[in-house]
Amino acid sequence: MRRLTWGFAAALCALWLPAAHAQAPDDGEAAACDDTVEVDRFRYYRQLSLDLRGHVPAADELQALVEADAVGPEVVDELLDGPAFAQFVRRHHRDLLWPSNELGDIINPAFSLLLPAGYETGLVADARLFTLVVGIYQRGGLVPCLDQPAEWDAEGELVFEAQPDGTRREGYVMVEPYWAPGTEIKVCAAEAALAPIADSGAPCDDYTGMITGSCGCGPQLERCAGVTVAYDIVSSLQEQLLRMVEAPISEGRPYPDMLLSDAEVLNGPLVHYYRHLAPMAIDPIVLTAPVAGADLPDIPYTDGGWYPAPRRAAEHAGVLTSMAFLLRFPTARARANRYYHAFLCAPFVAPPEGLPSPNDPCSSEPDLRQRCGCAYCHSQLEPAAAYWGRFAEAGTLYMDPAEFPTFLPRCAACAQDPNLPCDGLCERFYVTEIGHPKQAPFAGVLKAYEFRGEAEIANLEAGPGALVSQNVEDGRLALCVSEKLFERLYKRAPTDRERLFELPRFADAFVASDYDFKALVKTMVTDPGYRRMAR
């Protein structure tokens, strides 16, 4: 009984005194806080619990260790199989992937209901929802409709009343929105219109009709989104990314699957977004969702479950081409840099001597591989960035070669003749501004192909999955995953000796386990080096 009491006291001492600040105890405390093997297992378990679960052990867990000689593998397995380990996986990869998106990344403000619902009276009970384009086009100003029921004339046309401020306004109707079935809200009648065709003859279910201002939000307002919906979609995109990370780890599949998968998971808000809201982008930020309409699950907006769906392009590569990742890192270079930083432990940094003066003639070189100072990074970064070349910058659109050929004659013509205007597609995706003689041969070429040689073009057409597969084969992925995990568990960067001997050992074990991330964690936390750190 005496051993039990002192052992439990030792456990509590290990629980509350951080190892880095533990002081020699007073004589009266020596028996309880002596740093012996018995105390070591309590400190070790405390460190495991903090690292893998995010909190200190419970008193009953420490009590169970009193009669045990050591923290055995089965105890580690219990921690790794517990629900808290999933949060460890999320925290670790959130730090690697930086998932963070803004409302403006995904919702076209012209067709949204993001404006103050009560433009004149504030957000009060009589608020009416309205949009930017419809309001300006049909009312003649950024104003809401009248706070009275809408009326229609004998021909069935919506009645607008002239106002002293020069605008014309209609009344409201009550609508049951897709995001809140069973409830009704006030919506300006012009925005609630159901017509499938715009005045111009363009369809109302994509931006070509909506931009005319003569289309409404459609049945249950399906073509428009308010603040609540926008936040639902943003949070769903981030959750989607984390679920794509978690899936291979929790299911025991190889870790690289998260970077190679040609499928994704969708919930109700994302299905609605892909089907109805993505086509509303004026500039092709999204426009074509990564999953074809026929492959979308048949679920309502309010369905919070998650369902697998195949992506429409084989060039997709797991989280690296997820909407959350592509919008968070809006250029091909930023996407490559994040991948190199997170999964190859090789971020691109400026040369130690800095960049030359912008007045230096070499600083005007358009090819960054040749520009003074920039060549230090871009000789490696440009080939890496090429893998993302078919995914639109400042967007997520996969530029299918059938729709976006490498060269467009009309884009070349307007680039070479200042009297010919370039259309929006040419300006957005093709080389049309020739600011340097070296750019002239690329007039009308898809921007992603500018200054690319054969090897980089092969990268571009293969997609980022080819880069991941290459790094699986050369061992760089396994080595970096081991290093990033080491830094999280050891709370420091590895020493030169550890880089030379320990990290390759961990990486070899990771490969031997068929890239089982949970097995890698277990290998690392049961290693004597981790246990020494925990003391």
What's the pLDDT tens digit per position in 126-138? 678 888 889 889 9
User: What secondary structure letter does DSSP report for 448?
Assistant: G
Residue 301 clears pLDDT 80, i.e. is over it: yes
Can you give the length of the chain in residues? 535
For residue 263, what pLDDT is reported? Answer: 96
- Which are the contacts of 90, defined by CB distance < 8 A and separation ≥ 6? 242, 245, 246
For residue 5, what pLDDT is reported? Answer: 42
User: pLDDT by residue (tens digit) across 344-378?
Assistant: 999 887 767 676 677 777 777 787 777 776 766 77
Which residues lie across from 187 on neighbouring strands?
129, 173
For residue 28, what pLDDT is reported? Answer: 40
User: pLDDT by residue (tens digit) across 435-475?
Assistant: 999 999 999 999 999 999 999 999 999 999 999 999 999 99
- Phi and psi dihedrals of 379, rounded to 5? -65, -25
Please tell me the distance from the alpha carbon of residue 241 to that of residue 318, in angstroms, as a whole number.
9
Token code pair at residue 302: 């309010």
Mean pLDDT of 211-233: 93
Average pLDDT value over all residues in the chain: 88
Please tell me the distance from the alpha carbon of residue 401 to that of residue 390, in angstroms, as a whole number.
8
Residue 57 clears pLDDT 70, i.e. is over it: yes
Which of 229, 433, 474, 228 has its CA nearest to residue 344? 474
Residue 7 clears pLDDT 60, i.e. is over it: no
Q: Which residue has the tokens 């002192």?
A: 6
Please write down the HEC assignment for all residues of 130-141: CCHHHHHHHHCC
For residue 22, what pLDDT is reported? Answer: 39
User: pLDDT by residue (tens digit) across 45-54?
Assistant: 999 999 999 9
Q: Which residue has the tokens 């951080």?
A: 18
- The band of 281, judged by pLDDT with boundaries at 50, 70 and 90, is confident
- State the CB neighbour count (10 A cutoff) for residue 153: 8
User: pLDDT by residue (tens digit) across 21-49?
Assistant: 334 444 444 433 444 444 488 999 999 99
Which of 198, 200, 229 has its CA nearest to residue 216? 198
User: pLDDT by residue (tens digit) across 109-153?
Assistant: 887 886 544 444 444 556 788 888 898 899 998 888 999 999 999
Residue type (1 letter), 162: A
Residues of the chain above pLDDT 90, percent: 71
- Element holding 73 (H helix, E strand): helix 73-81
